[in-house]
Amino acid sequence: MTAIEDLEVKLYADGADLADLLAVASDPRISGFTTNPTLMRRAGVNDYESFARDVLSRITTRPVSFEVFSDELDEMRRQALAIASWGPNVYVKVPVTNTRAEWTDGLVRELSREGVQVNVTALTTVAQVDRVARALEGGAPSNISVFAGRVADTGKDPIPVMREAVAAAAQAERAEVIWASPRELLNIFQADEIGCHIITVTHDILAKLDLVGKDLDEFSLDTVKMFHSDARVAGFTIDVPKPFR
């Protein structure tokens, strides 16, 4: 198995807990950072701009994505320009459509050609990637976030989708595809194998990186020891019936 250090796919930490973000910021394996309004709400963020500026004051040299949250295209544009002004390493996340299923590719095209680094998010199909890539062609450096984990949640194999997505995105020479919403550490190696540029990794997945290459017999024994220890600590007992005579 390829070592984490030898992978070509870039790892972006995904989350909104400031302490966790800063903890992984010192990890040389992490090339960038992403977040979204849902993660920020779960982390208890109350002031969007204050949180973002705090993050950017501490993480200054690697890409960090922050998302617009308006449902109206004009207001999305205003928010995008404001977010982009917060730092040169900012990527502005714009959803592929609004909640009325209205495409945002026109706005994406405008922003990208004005020099805004966009991260078009919430894509799940190759057709969406193709349309977004055409909008990004000739524009600023950009990301296309394809939610492979959500594709897998429907029972569909995400690997063929992601492989086609990478090919479709190639028409935008400065666009990089992100394998978003991973479900397990194995997804990192799958993303690397198909030539995906970036994969987001949650805190839980990051915690498993040190398991890569672990001897499976040793892992088996560790598991047995864990079950034995937990049963003992819990004080579990089973009354053994006396033999019938």
Q: Which helix (H) or strand (E) holds 218?
A: helix 216-234
- H or E segment at 180? strand 175-180
b/e 28-55 (16+ beta carbons within 10 angstroms → b):
eebebbbbbeebbeebebeebeebbeeb
Among residues 155, 153, 143, which one has the least CA distance to residue 182?
153
Catalytic residue among 10, 93, 156, 214: 93
Q: How far is CA 233 from the centre of its chain?
A: 37
What would you measure as the largest C-alpha separation in the chain, in angstroms?
Answer: 89
Is residue 10 annotated as part of the catalytic site, yes or no?
Answer: no
The catalytic site residues sit at 93
